Amino acid sequence: MRIAIGADHAGFQLKEALIKGVLAPYEVLDLGTHSPHEPVDYPEYAFAVAEAVAGERAEYGILVCGTGIGMAMAAARIPGIRAATCTNVFMARMARAHNNANVLCLGGRVLGIGLAEEIVRVFLTTPFEGGRHARRLALIFGGPQRRG
Ligand code: RB5
């Protein structure tokens, strides 16, 4: 399974730790940034990762900025992306089981490495439950039950 990952300067350190740690068993497409020293604009990295997932060059995306909020806002602009900011393991499990999220957004200034690793582990291994949750997603993103 291939994972696309991206971060801004505020997320760089956590991105590197995830790549060396919890993501070691996976094929990782690292789309930058590659330094914590130069401030960069997080939407560029969000779009790069979201486009990799939407274009099926990766199964899931992981984005890290200071809070995980801006990355989720930007990634969600790309059609086919369901981005979720998660700050705990329960949110990570529900983001997959109920929301079928395909991009996980994390806050490098919010989470410690241990918790972030557990969030990633749960996100990558929890299946979507489908059923009523698929109907609800269709109300958001389109499909047979789309409103209007
Ligand atoms: C950068 O300072 C910060 O605004 C960014 O990493 C992120 O938290 C935005 O949502």
* 76 in any annotated domain: yes
pLDDT at res. 144: 52
Separation CA 88–CA 3 (nearest Å): 20
Show the domain range for 52.
Answer: 2-140
Domain count, the chain: 1
What's the CATH code of the domain at 30? 3.40.1400.10
User: How much distance in Å is there from the Cα of 66 to the middle of ligand 1?
Assistant: 4
pLDDT in tens for each of the 148 residues of the chain?
A: 999 999 999 999 999 999 999 999 999 999 999 999 999 999 999 999 999 999 999 999 999 999 999 999 999 999 999 999 999 999 999 999 999 999 999 999 999 999 999 999 999 999 999 999 999 999 999 975 444 3
* 17 in any annotated domain: yes
* 148 in any annotated domain: no
User: How much distance in Å is there from the Cα of 4 to the middle of ligand 1?
Assistant: 19
70 CB near ligand 1 (under 6 Å): yes
Q: In the annotation, is 86 catalytic?
A: no
Extended beta strands in 16-120, E state = 27-30, 60-65, 83-85, 103-107
Burial class (CB in 10 A: 0-12, 13-18, 19+), 66: middle
* 103 in any annotated domain: yes
* 146 in any annotated domain: no
pLDDT at res. 146: 44
Task: Provide the 8-state DSSP code for 67.
Answer: S
